[in-house]
């Protein structure tokens, strides 16, 4: 029974990995099909056009991020562990030669259909507002210290991490460690 609906998700798994490693225009239905051990047309059966694939991919990524951040909220996790949790998730991506879906889609934004663009915008909003909430909470609890508005700082933070993941592809994961160390130092109170 798990085998049935799974193909549709497995396609997204493979497509997501390919997107994060290579970018949307650098993989094809053939790549997915051969990795899944299935024929080209099977992919089209589940996602008629590559556009449909893109929409589903970003939408699922967005839902996953939603659930992830909601779980952290329910656990009432402290600000620093929340921060470190995100950092670790990104580190895992880097070590698999991947970057964030958001970062890749932002770079390729102009080439995506409107429907996909809207999904990307929603994803960006969610990631930034996750950090916005986290920063606000951390500031109130005296755990974080930063200049200006939490929403603005959240945007900067998101840009920074996206950039760090991309630069880590270019020069290795050491880049990521440097950036994250600097981030931590700057967020710590009494600096």
Of 55, 120, 135, 150, the residue at the interface with a second copy (CB under 8 A) is 120
Of 70, 88, 140, 181, the residue at the interface with a second copy (CB under 8 A) is 181
DSSP state of 15: H
Report H helices in the chain: 2-22, 29-36, 40-46, 50-74, 79-95, 101-107, 114-140, 150-171, 174-187
Q: Which one of DNA, a second copy, none interacts with residue 181, CB within 5 to 8 A by kind?
A: a second copy
Of 13, 21, 52, 84, the residue at the interface with a second copy (CB under 8 A) is 21
Closest separation in Å from C-beta 5 to a second copy: 31
Kindly state whether residue 167 participates in binding a second copy, applying the rule CB under 8 A. Answer: yes
CB atoms within 10 A of CB 31: 15
Binding region for DNA (CB under 7 A): 4-5, 7-8, 27-31, 38-42, 44-46, 48-51
State the greatest distance between any 2 C-alpha atoms of the chain, in Å, as a whole number. 59
**What's the CA gap between 72 and 67, in Å, rounded?**
9
**Half-sphere exposure of residue 67: CA atoms within 13 angstroms, side-chain side:** 5
Angle of helix 114-140 relative to helix 150-171, nearest 10 degrees, comes to: 110
Q: Which one of DNA, a second copy, none interacts with residue 120, CB within 5 to 8 A by kind?
A: a second copy
Closest separation in Å from C-beta 138 to a second copy: 17
Here the tokens at position 151 are: 């929403």
CB atoms within 10 A of CB 72: 16
Tell me the window of 63-71, 73-81, 96-104, 129-137 that interacts with a second copy (CB under 8 A).
96-104
Q: How many residues does the chain have?
A: 191
Of 65, 186, 189, 190, the residue at the interface with a second copy (CB under 8 A) is 186
- In the range 56-95, which residues lie near a second copy by CB under 8 A? none
**What's the CA gap between 141 and 139, in Å, rounded?**
5
Q: Which one of DNA, a second copy, none interacts with residue 161, CB within 5 to 8 A by kind?
A: a second copy
**What's the CA gap between 41 and 47, in Å, rounded?**
10
**Given the rule CB under 8 A, which residues bind a second copy?**
21-23, 25-26, 97, 99, 103-111, 117, 120-121, 124-125, 147-148, 152-153, 155-156, 158-164, 166-167, 169-171, 175, 178-179, 181-183, 185-186, 191
């Amino acid at each position: 029974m798990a085998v049935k609906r799974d193909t549709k998700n497995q396609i997204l798994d493979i497509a997501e990995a390919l997107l994060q490693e290579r970018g949307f225009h650098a993989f094809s239905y053939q790549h997915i099909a051969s990795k899944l051990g299935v024929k080209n047309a099977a992919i089209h059966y589940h996602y008629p056009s590559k556009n449909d694939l893109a929409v589903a991919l970003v939408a699922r990524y967005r839902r996953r991020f939603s659930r992830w951040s909601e779980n952290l909220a329910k656990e009432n996790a402290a600000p620093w562990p929340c921060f470190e949790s995100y950092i670790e998730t990104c580190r895992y991506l880097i070590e698999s030669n991947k970057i964030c879906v958001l970062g890749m889609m932002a770079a390729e934004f102009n080439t995506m259909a409107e429907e996909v663009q809207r999904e990307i915008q929603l994803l960006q909003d969610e990631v930034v507002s996750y950090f916005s909430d986290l920063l606000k909470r951390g500031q109130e609890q005296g755990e974080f210290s930063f200049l200006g508005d939490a929403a603005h700082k959240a945007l900067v933070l998101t840009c920074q991490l996206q950039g760090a993941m991309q630069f880590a592809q270019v020069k290795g994961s050491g880049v990521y460690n440097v950036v994250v160390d600097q981030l931590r130092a700057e967020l710590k109170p009494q600096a």
